[in-house]
Amino acid sequence: MTESVLRARGLTRRYGRGSGMVRAVDEVDLSVPAGESLAIMGPSGCGKSTLLHLLGGLQRPTAGRVWLAGRRLDTMSERSLARLRRDSVGFVFQSFHLMDELTAVENVELAALLAGRSPRQARRRAGYLLDRVGLADRADHLPSALSGGQRQRVAVARALSNEPLVVLADEPTGNLDSAATLEILRLFEDLRTEGQTLVVVTHDSRIAAIADRMITMRDGAFADDSRLAVTAPVHGGWR
Amino acid sequence: MAGRLLLVCRLLVRDLRRRPIETILLVVAISAATGTLTLGLALNDVADRPYERTRAATAGPDVVARPHTTGQRALAALAPLTTSAGVTGHSGPYPVAFLVMTAHGRTVHTVVEGRDTAPARVDRPVVTEGTWVRPGGVVVERAFADALGVRAGDEVGVDGRRLRVLGTAVTTARPTYPYAGWIDPDSALVERGGLVWVHRADIATLAGARPLSYTLNLELADPDAGAAFVDSATTLHAGELSTWQGIAEQDGRLVADAREALLVGSWLLAALSIAGVTGVVAGRVVGRRRRVGLLKAVGAGPAMVAVVHLAEYLVIGLAAAGIGLAAGLLAAPALIRPSAGLLGVVDTRPPALSTVVAAVSLAVVIATAATLVPVVRAAFASTIHALADAATPPRRRRWRVRLSRRLPVTLLIGIRVNARRPRRARLVTVNTLITTTVLVAVLMNHAQDEPFDLGYTDLVDPRAERTDQALLVLTVVLGVLALLNAVVTTWTAVLDARRPLAVARTLGATPAQAGLGLGVAQLLPAIPGVAAGIPVGLGLYTIVGPGELRYPPDSWLLATALGVLLVGAALTAVPAMVAARRPVADALGSTPA
């Protein structure tokens, strides 16, 4: 059996107290093997995004444990968590979270610069990643000059900058139109094919369709966990 | 029209109540500037009134004649003056000797005037403690007595002879200590000193072999015709004729430097206040972007939106002007302390109209200058954009982005945070520039010596003392304002940088790197402010200060520069570290994308 890159046991996140307490994530057990693409679906407010934040060390659980590449996140200091995110996790957000004042290539190289890579190395890697997501010709454009799909592709390239063990995506197509959604689906399909471990929180069943596995959440807990057979590549004869 | 007015008033009141801390910050910033201006302007008014009161109480002379000659030649020079046209009365000539007095171990130049026990027609010094002159005793001018720390019953030495202090008194025939007009017999130079009265019979003994000079007090038919009388009095070839207006002006010199320091300081504080108010207003307008959108969506035009905002700042400005006026007028008597040399309680109420107009104008100018740009920008903002509550996109500063790529992570973050909002960085520069300028000017003032005072007395120069007090007031007000500005700009920076910092942390920046980056963002623009503030402070003092200047040691300037930067860093550190400790997910979720 393939070793788990990401693992959680009894993972719980509560907000508030007493009668006003909300269990955003309620004793979740999860194991994501290396190379697996996992889609987490569910209605709004069921705790999907909170789970993703807990898995990526952006939030601390109220109870339970999380491991990433065998290292426990829930007991780590903020500094160690930052390092772990830098080296092992790539985030993709629904609202892109690109720096408006930086060009596409500068946004992508930011993660590498923060990791202490030389400007030349960081730029070379950013150029390669932009080429990979099909935006080499948009490298010097500001986010405001890019379409929604292009912005999200820049965000994906940024997430891949430090060759992460796992990419965590939070509603990556939530703000995109159909055409742009298709661009991202193709990109994720490529990543899955290449063996990149992916955890995608989504409402979009088309994203779920390209995943190896789909978990449905309800009221902070897993309602269903099913392994899917990917029947047809999204991009068909795309390239 | 009435409906619109009601709407403006309603929004104004609600907004002031909803954001009390920001309102207080604005009021403090504006009233600091208006208060200092009021204090500076009020000093002149305060200085005039006690002199007039004392002049009336002491039957003060309209003109005082003091020949530079001595003995019979002096008396001969003065004699024709008593019968000159326009003279209706006189007292004297009184013998005068320029001696030294020792009290409590301190020796001071002293003008000793011989007087009769009986009161004179012109210049009847009012005894404020003890009794008037009699043989064997001395009466000390009250400001002089205050400076020396002597009271009735103490013993002093006049040129080595022990005399009992009979009392203290005030007069308007000579300016108060230290401008009593002590004349060096060898050089005829007029130097600083105090005035005492002894009995006419004692003065010759006290003067010893030194020839006596004389002083004559004249009363004119028209007290305001003193200047014309002085021009026409040609018999006094070698000497001095002083009008009561001239003496009053010399008394006012006591606070002249303090007044100048406060007036110059008030303009610096006004600039600092504009910087502070701009920071707060920018934050307020950003915070109310959505409300602007709502107003426009329901039909308010740009003019209405601008009026709603400007009215609020105008009200704040007027309130601050009132507070500043009150504070300045209350502080003025404490600074001038006229009771020492003159009679009566200082009454600064009602303030001069020009002072009120100046303070209110300054407040309105500050409020308008600081608010106009953000308010106009908000008024003309797109309704949809405003409704979405979307922040104005930051500008791209290409060279800074490129430069920062080659720097350590902390500097990279700091430079890029600044590059996003260069106007805020400029506010930090202005804040530190003005703070350093004032501090360096204060250092310059401390570096100056009093060349005429050296060697004969270690008494505090009351003029310098008042200037020091004015500078202390200025420094404290400036310090408070600069601290407030630093806190406001830091918090604004923290709020604005929440999302980029959260993204940076998502990408692997540690909380320490993010916090230090924010600190660096505040510190970097402070460096040019401090660097420029040193020469500007030196230059400013050179322009407004007295002729020959001494410069403070380099170590003082260096310590000031480092101190300003360290305080800035300390003020920045707390909010920056608090912001950096905030969970990333919260920051990403709580700010608009």
d(CA B474, CA B480): 10
pLDDT at position A238 is 31
Does residue B197 share a domain with residue B293? no
Token couple for B137: 């005793």
Token couple for B212: 């006596």
Domain of residue B329, residue span = 1-57+276-392
Chains A, B: CB pairs < 8 Å: 89
CB contact under 8 A, B508 and A115: yes
**What is the ipTM score, two decimals?**
0.73
Token couple for B249: 């002006």
Token couple for A28: 């979740």
Centroid of chain to Cα B432: 19
In this structure, is residue B550 part of a structural domain?
yes
Q: Looking at the partner chain, which of A100, A110, A119 has a beta carbon nearest the beta carbon of B507?
A: A110
A59 pLDDT above the threshold of 70: yes
In this structure, is residue B502 part of a structural domain?
yes
Which of B210, B237, B264 is the endpoint of a domain? B237
CB contact under 8 A, B509 and A114: yes
Return averaged pLDDT per consecutive 10 residues of chain B, 593 residues in all. 71 78 83 80 64 81 83 81 82 86 83 87 86 89 84 85 88 82 70 85 83 86 80 66 82 74 77 78 69 70 79 87 85 62 52 82 82 77 65 72 84 85 85 88 76 53 76 81 80 80 86 86 90 90 75 89 88 80 72 40
Q: What is the pLDDT of residues B185-228, one digit of tens each?
A: 666 677 778 889 998 888 888 888 888 888 888 888 888 877 77
Does residue B192 share a domain with residue B84? yes
Beta strands in chain A (DSSP E): 4-15, 22-33, 37-41, 63-68, 71-72, 89-93, 166-170, 197-201, 213-218, 221-227
CA distance to partner chain A, nearest, from residue B432 (Å): 27
Q: What is the pLDDT of residues A160-169, one digit of tens each?
A: 988 899 999 9
Does residue B411 share a domain with residue B373? no
Which of B392, B415, B436 is the endpoint of a domain? B392
Indicate the average pLDDT of chain A.
86
Task: Please list every residue in chain B whose beta carbon sits closer than 8 Å to the beta carbon of residue A114.
Answer: 409, 412, 504, 507-509, 513
Task: Please list every residue in chain A whose beta carbon sits closer than 8 Å to the beta carbon of residue B507.
Answer: 85-86, 91, 110-111, 114, 158, 161
Does residue B469 share a domain with residue B337? no
Which of B216, B237, B258 is the endpoint of a domain? B237
In this structure, is residue B537 part of a structural domain?
yes
A contact set with B (CB within 8 A): 50, 53, 56, 58-60, 78-79, 82-83, 85-87, 91, 93, 95-97, 99-102, 106, 109-111, 113-116, 119, 122, 142, 144, 158, 161-162
Does residue B145 share a domain with residue B87? yes
Q: How far is CA A114 from CA A67, A99, A121, A168, B507, in A?
A: 23, 14, 12, 19, 7
Does residue B476 share a domain with residue B363? no
d(CA B60, CA B219): 8
In this structure, is residue B121 part of a structural domain?
yes
User: Contact A226/A214 with Cβ under 8 angstroms?
Assistant: yes
CB contact under 8 A, B393 and A144: yes
Centroid of chain to Cα A187: 13
Nearest CA in chain A to B411: A114
d(CA A180, CA B546): 73
Does residue B442 share a domain with residue B430? yes
Domains assigned to chain A: 4-227 (3.40.50.300)
Token couple for B187: 């050089």
Q: What does the radius of gyration of chain B's CA atoms come to, in whole angstroms?
A: 32
Nearest alpha-carbon partner for B78 in B200, B232, B240, B231: B240
Q: Looking at the partner chain, which of B420, B502, B504 has a beta carbon nearest the beta carbon of A101?
A: B420
How many structural domains compose chain B? 3
Q: Given pLDDT bands bounded at 50, 70 and 90, which one contains residue A130?
A: very high
In this structure, is residue B251 part of a structural domain?
no
Does residue B339 share a domain with residue B439? no
Does residue B489 share a domain with residue B364? no
Q: Given pLDDT bands bounded at 50, 70 and 90, which one contains residue A129?
A: very high
Place of tokens 């007087």: B115
d(CA B515, CA B413): 9
pLDDT at position B29 is 81
Q: Looking at the partner chain, which of B420, B507, B585 has a beta carbon nearest the beta carbon of A114?
A: B507
In this structure, is residue B243 part of a structural domain?
no
Does residue B325 share a domain with residue B228? no
In this structure, is residue B264 part of a structural domain?
no
User: Contact B461/B453 with Cβ under 8 angstroms?
Assistant: yes
Q: Which residues partner with B165 through β-bridges?
A: B138
Task: Please list every residue in chain B whose beta carbon sits closer than 8 Å to the beta carbon of residue A113.
Answer: 405, 409, 412
Task: Please list every residue in chain A whose beta carbon sits closer than 8 Å to the beta carbon of residue B405.
Answer: 109, 113, 119, 122
In this structure, is residue B126 part of a structural domain?
yes
pLDDT at position B339 is 47
pLDDT at position A125 is 92
Q: What is the pLDDT of residues A200-216, one digit of tens each?
A: 998 888 888 888 899 99
Q: Looking at the partner chain, which of B393, B503, B505 has a beta carbon nearest the beta carbon of A82?
A: B505
Does residue B567 share a domain with residue B477? yes
Does residue B38 share a domain with residue B84? no
B contact set with A (CB within 8 A): 393-397, 401, 405-406, 409, 412, 416, 419-420, 499-500, 502-513, 581, 583-585, 588, 593
> Considering chain A, what percentage of its residues have pLDDT values greater than 90?
38
